Structure formats: C-alpha cells, structure tokens
C-alpha cells in the first residue's frame, strides 16, 4: 500500500513529528494512532480547520490544537 | 468524502456539530454568536442598561466573551464594557496570558483593570505556595473570587461576565456531587450566586451553552486563539481528572455533557430554593461578604503571616 508522510504539530506537548501513514488515512485515524481524544482538540491543515472524516495527503502540515486551557 | 447533504452551503465545512450538521466558517460564526445571544436572552443575563466587567485571563474563553460583548456594546450604547484581570503571580504562565489580554484590549480600545495578589496580599501565588502546604487551586480560587468581587464593586460594575463554558459547568456539577456539596451547586447556573446582596456583583456566563470545542473553533476562526496555555498548577487538579473522565465519556457517548447540563438546569431552581436561607455575614477583618465571621481570604492571609513569622 502506498504511504504518505505528514508533519504533525501537537501544541499541548509543543512537539513536532513526521509520521508515515497509509494514503487513505483520515484525520480521526491519525488522532487514534496518537491516542488523542477528538473531543479535546481541533485540527488544522495549512492553517485551515479540517473535519475528522477528511483524508490526509502527502506532505500535509497538520496542527493538533488542544481545546483545554486556563486553570 | 464530505457529506454534502449535511453541509450548510457550498463553502468548505470547518466543523461538525453534535447533530451531525457540518458548517463553514461563516455559518459556524453565525451559529455560535446566535447561541451566545440566545443564552443572554433565555437566562435574562443583561438588563437594558449595564456597566459590565468581563473577567479576562487572556485565554480563548474570556477573550471570546469580551469580543462578543464588546460588539454588543457598540451596537447598544446603554451597555458599557470594560475588562478586569487578576495577576496571581504564576511565573511563565500568567505573565504571558496577561500580555495577550493587554494586546487585545489595546487593539479594541477596551479599558483593562489589572489587580495582583502581590499588591493586594503582599505575595505572589508562587511565593504563597512555597510557604503554605495547600492545594494551589483552592487558595488561588479563594483569592481570585475575593478580588474579582471586591474590585468589580469598587469599579461600579453592575455585572461580571466570565468565560465559563458548558464543559466548565459540567465539571463543577460533577465535582460538587462527588464532594456531596449541593450548596456549591446551588451557586452554579448561567447567573451565578445564591443570595442577592449589594456587596456581591452578579456573575453571568454568556458561554453557558457552548462547549469548549465550540469556543476554541470560534476563537481559531476569529483570531482569538493564542498559543496553548494551561496553568501549571491545574494539571494534576481534581478538576483536570473530572474533565478527562467527562471527555472520555463524551467521546464514547456523544451528548453526555449536554445531558448533564440540561438535567442540572431542571434541578437548579429547587437547589436555589433549598439553600436560599443562608445568611451573608460581613468579615470582621475586611468588611467583605463572607459565610463566616472571618472570610476565607483573611483566614489564608493570617495563615501566611503566621508561617512567615514562625520562619523568621
């Protein structure tokens, strides 16, 4: 199966990772792989918000932004 | 693939609601703002003329409230808006969020009043926590509520709007149940408080019906979302554990949080009635309202003084 590479920034951990995925991977699959509850984040691609059922593309720049803040 | 049938229009959807409907940027913004205006009307949060203070931290929730109420104020000159912020003295956290608050207020020409623990109580929160062996959120909450109420009253504010959202409310409802503290729950709701007293400034929660995810989506779309910021003291708090549990349940059983808040709203009038008789005293030390002869803030100030004296 063909693979894609995406760059993922996770703001809560202030961490940037490169990740290899199958080319039919959806946003929700990525969150599951990273063990992130979709209720707790919003996800952007190239600075635009995307839905959990959208497919990822090769070389996407993904940001996973936590909805939790304050204290 | 995007399900066209559930989309609001031909624009690309940026979020999907609990109902399954998918909304583009503009329709989501309209949906969210209408929800806030509906909250203001449904719960009678604003009178015709108000001098509202918005308690801001620089985070997305309070900036969202400030942004929407500021617009409302421009459309209705009888509604006056200013912002009030508390600098607890949490190095590496509050200094950064206050900078965001100052920038936002400067750009939007909103008066911002900042009060600090250091000026009012003589110590920063970081210093207090080195002296007293106490849960950070407990002592911080007591001093913050104390200062917000006192300063709001001194500023002549008629209401104090906070950024509390549906997630915050659900957490508080659950925490109070686990602590068997129904009196605390009786103080919750879109209009905070239990007993009317001219020493208390009424608190209102315009984001009461909005989930934290909806607020973040709105803040992202409208440029109100700053870098991720969570108070370092909050990470291991009881609230954080309840929050994580509720989010797990919401993921497995969508709508859980709406159900918690909706069922709570049905019981809230009974709770308010049950605990209405409590009397408000005036603190013998500082003359602020209190449920005891000495208010909690003065109790902790005294504890801090004693500990400092013992160590000297």
pLDDT along chain B (312 residues), means of 10: 62 88 94 96 94 94 96 94 95 88 95 96 94 89 95 96 96 96 94 83 97 96 82 81 96 96 97 85 92 93 90 77
ipTM of the complex: 0.95
At residue A16, the pLDDT reads 94
Q: B53 touching A, CB under 8 A? A: no
CA distance, residue B231 to nearest chain A CA (Å):
5
At residue B280, the pLDDT reads 83
Of B15, B220, B233, the CB nearest to A71: B233
Distance (Å, whole) CA B116 – CA B136: 16
User: Domain B25-311 - what CATH class?
Assistant: alpha beta
Q: B59 touching A, CB under 8 A? A: yes
A54: chain B residues, CB-CB within 8 Å: 2
Domain CATH number, residue A32:
3.10.20.30
- Inter-chain CB proximity B15 and A42 less than 8 Å: yes
Q: Return phi, psi of residue B254, to 5°.
A: -55, 135
- Inter-chain CB proximity B220 and A42 less than 8 Å: yes
B14: chain A residues, CB-CB within 8 Å: 48-51
Residue B166 to residues B36, B67, B207, B249, Cα–Cα distance (Å): 12, 18, 7, 15
- Inter-chain CB proximity B220 and A38 less than 8 Å: no
At residue A71, the pLDDT reads 56
At residue B67, the pLDDT reads 97
Residue whose token pair is 């959807």? B13
CA B149 to chain centroid, in Å, comes to 13
B16: chain A residues, CB-CB within 8 Å: 51-52
Distance (Å, whole) CA B203 – CA B129: 28
CA distance, residue A19 to nearest chain B CA (Å):
22
CA distance, residue A39 to nearest chain B CA (Å):
6
A24 domain residue, yes or no: yes
CA distance, residue B213 to nearest chain A CA (Å):
6
Predicted confidence band of residue A47 (pLDDT cuts 50, 70, 90): confident
- Inter-chain CB proximity A70 and B2 less than 8 Å: no
| Domain range summary for chain B, segments of one domain joined by + | 25-311
CA B52 to chain centroid, in Å, comes to 14
Choose between B18 and A27: higher pLDDT.
Answer: A27
CB neighbour class for B227 (10 Å; exposed up to 12, middle 13-18, buried from 19): exposed
DSSP 8-state symbol, B63: H
Number of domains in chain A: 1
- Inter-chain CB proximity B61 and A54 less than 8 Å: no
Q: B286 touching A, CB under 8 A? A: no
**Mean pLDDT value across residues A2-12:** 93
A14 domain residue, yes or no: yes
Out of A28-32, A65-69, B79-83, B124-128, which region has the weakest mean confidence (pLDDT)? A65-69
CA distance, residue B69 to nearest chain A CA (Å):
20
A39 domain residue, yes or no: yes
Angle at B98 between CA B124 and CA B100, to 5 degrees: 165
Residue numbers of the domain that contains A56: 3-66
- Inter-chain CB proximity B229 and A44 less than 8 Å: no
A68: chain B residues, CB-CB within 8 Å: 212, 230, 243
A18 domain residue, yes or no: yes
At residue B4, the pLDDT reads 45
A33 domain residue, yes or no: yes
Q: B13 touching A, CB under 8 A? A: yes
B217: chain A residues, CB-CB within 8 Å: 42, 49
CA A19 to chain centroid, in Å, comes to 10
Could you tell me if B113 and B154 are in contact, meaning their C-beta atoms sit under 8 angstroms apart?
no
Q: Which of B206, B214, B164, B218 is closest to B70 using CA atoms?
A: B206
Q: Which of B63, B261, B77, B74 is closest to B162 using CA atoms?
A: B63
- What's the pTM value of the predicted model, to 2 decimals? 0.92
Residue whose token pair is 């002549």? B156
- Inter-chain CB proximity B237 and A38 less than 8 Å: no
A61 domain residue, yes or no: yes
CA distance, residue B191 to nearest chain A CA (Å):
21
B243: chain A residues, CB-CB within 8 Å: 68
């Amino acid at each position: 199966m063909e693979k894609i590479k995406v760059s993922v920034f996770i703001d809560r951990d202030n961490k940037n990772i490169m990740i290899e995925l199958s080319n039919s991977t959806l946003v929700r699959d990525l969150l599951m792989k990273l063990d992130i509850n979709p209720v707790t984040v919003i996800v952007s691609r190239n600075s635009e918000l995307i839905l959990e059922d959208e497919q990822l593309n090769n070389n996407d720049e993904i940001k996973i932004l936590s909805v939790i803040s304050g204290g | 693939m995007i399900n066209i049938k559930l989309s609001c229009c031909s624009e690309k959807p940026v979020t999907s609601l609990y109902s399954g409907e998918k909304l583009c940027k503009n329709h989501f913004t309209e949906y969210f703002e209408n929800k806030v205006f509906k909250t203001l009307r449904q719960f009678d949060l604003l009178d015709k003329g108000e001098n509202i203070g918005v308690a801001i931290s620089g985070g997305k929730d309070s900036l969202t409230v400030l942004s929407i109420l500021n617009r409302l104020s421009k459309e209705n000159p009888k509604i006056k808006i200013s912002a009030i912020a508390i600098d607890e003295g949490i190095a590496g956290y509050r200094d950064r969020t206050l900078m965001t608050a100052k920038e936002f207020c400067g750009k939007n020409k909103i008066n911002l009043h900042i009060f600090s623990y250091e000026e009012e109580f003589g110590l920063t929160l970081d210093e207090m926590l080195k002296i007293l062996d106490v849960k950070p959120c407990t002592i911080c909450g007591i001093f913050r509520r104390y200062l917000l109420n006192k300063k709001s009253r001194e500023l002549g504010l008629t209401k104090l709007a906070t950024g509390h959202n549906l997630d915050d409310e659900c957490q508080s409802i659950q925490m109070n149940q686990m602590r068997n503290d129904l009196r605390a729950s009786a103080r919750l709701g879109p209009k905070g408080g239990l007993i009317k007293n001219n020493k208390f400034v009424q608190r209102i929660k315009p984001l009461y019906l909005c989930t934290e995810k909806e607020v973040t989506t709105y803040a992202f779309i409208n440029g109100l979302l700053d870098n991720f910021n969570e108070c370092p003291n909050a990470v291991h708090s009881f609230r954080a554990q309840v929050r994580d549990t509720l989010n797990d349940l919401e993921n497995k059983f969508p709508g859980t949080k709406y159900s918690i808040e909706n069922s709570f709203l049905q019981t809230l009038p009974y709770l308010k009635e049950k605990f209405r008789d409590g009397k408000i005293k005036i603190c013998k030390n500082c003359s602020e309202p209190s449920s005891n002869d000495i208010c909690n803030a003065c109790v902790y100030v005294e504890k801090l003084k004693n500990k400092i004296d013992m160590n000297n």
